[in-house]
Amino acid sequence: MPHDLKHKRIWVAGHNGMVGSSLMRRFAKDHIKPLTVDRASLDLRNSADVDQWMSIHRPEIIILCAAKVGGIGANSTYPADFLYDNLMIEANVIHAAHKYDVEKLLLLGSSCIYPKLAEQPIKEDALLSGYLEPTNEAYAIAKIAGIKMCQMYRRQYGCNFISAMPCNLYGIGDTYDPENSHVIPAMIMKFEDAKRQGKSHIEFWGTGTPLREFLNVDDLTEGLICILEHYNEEMPINVGSGQEINMSDLAHMMADISGFKGEITFNSKKPDGTPRKVLNNCKVNNLGWFPKIELKEGLEVAYKDYLTRI
Ligand SMILES: NC(=O)c1ccc[n+]([C@@H]2O[C@H](COP(=O)([O-])OP(=O)(O)OC[C@H]3O[C@@H](n4cnc5c(N)ncnc54)[C@H](OP(=O)(O)O)[C@@H]3O)[C@@H](O)[C@H]2O)c1
């Protein structure tokens, strides 16, 4: 029997973020109005405030999307903040969810919790089987602690707390910050800037060969709903598109979308990062979920979203 979401008090924690706002759009289509609270009214790092809010609002289902999220630059510059904020958010929300008898909690992790040299495509059981990528170690350690909290509260108290590991996401509501963006929003900003400034050349770091997996956030949302309805196990569950693209092809696809006609080069003297990173998505596919949005189509929508925001 799928878990019934329609008649439940659902709290989307982090509803203003990219994932949270996609969930809100999706629930609105089904006339579901989740509980929400802005960070200005409730800082999830504060345990007393989280406890009090939960005691009043008593959610039955929690989707924990709130997190301190960022690209390599932000992760390397502010590792203490990434560790502290994410640990506190998870500890406070998960503990309060147990205390106030939340029926089901879904924690969002990330593919960066897996070891740097994990066998590809990465299966869920690769967790804690090797060393992490040093540039996002703090964030990954916090996310692993969150996964373990879900598992241990399940083991000790029987809580139905689960965790999902998305691959790289992109889409409407992404973060466009020159200091703190992921690959796709950083590329969108770079192409638009080059176009506006009439530049004839764009250079990217590395060889252009590393393979990455990208998932549109609206596809992720469908996956999360499927997981909430059907998944009740302690092991995390991957949610990726299974579609890989190398950085050079991605850059050329983005050039087409942006209308940039200049030259694109790659500087192989700069680091590439890991050569391939793709998730094994068999578990979530076996639940019946598959992504629907083609990368090019999703990027066009993301690009337009960026243009409306600058
Ligand atoms: N983006 C990706 O590529 C990606 C990939 C894999 C996994 N994930 C995971 O997916 C989840 C959602 O990511 P996202 O891309 O939607 O991130 P996002 O756009 O940065 O949204 C994060 C949300 O968390 C809120 N938040 C942060 N700290 C808070 C605090 N102390 N108290 C209350 N709220 C707080 C933010 O509030 P404000 O709006 O006030 O800042 C924001 O609404 C995260 O757990 C992330 O690790 C993301």
Q: Is 139 considered catalytic here?
A: yes
> Is ligand 1 within 6 A of the CB of residue 220?
no
CATH classification at residue 89: 3.40.50.720
Q: CB of 212 closer than 6 A to ligand 1?
A: no
- Please write the tens of the pLDDT for every residue from 50-59: 999 999 999 9
Q: Is residue 248 part of a domain?
A: no
Percent of the chain whose pLDDT exceeds 90: 91
Give the residue-averaged pLDDT of 102-124: 97
pLDDT tens column, 206-254: 999 999 999 999 999 999 999 999 999 999 999 999 999 999 999 999 9
**Cβ contacts of 64 within 8 Å, gap of 6 or more:** 13, 14, 89, 90, 93, 94, 105, 106, 107, 108, 146
Rounded CA separation 138/143 (Å)? 9
Structural domain containing residue 80: 10-170+214-241+277-292
The answer to the question of residue 222 being in a domain is yes
Provide the domain count of the chain. Answer: 1
Measure the CA–CA gap between 59 and 100, rounded to whole angstroms.
8
* Minimal-distance CA residue to ligand 1 atom 1: 169
- Within-domain flag for 182: no
Select from 163, 110, 107 the least CA-distant residue to 132.
110
Given a contact cutoff of 8 angstroms between Cβ atoms, the answer to whether 124 and 238 are in contact is: yes
Q: Which residue has the tokens 């549109």?
A: 216
Q: Which of 78, 84, 114, 139 is catalytic?
A: 139
How much is the pLDDT for 280? Answer: 98
3 state SS of 233:
coil
110 lines ligand 1 (CB under 6 A): yes
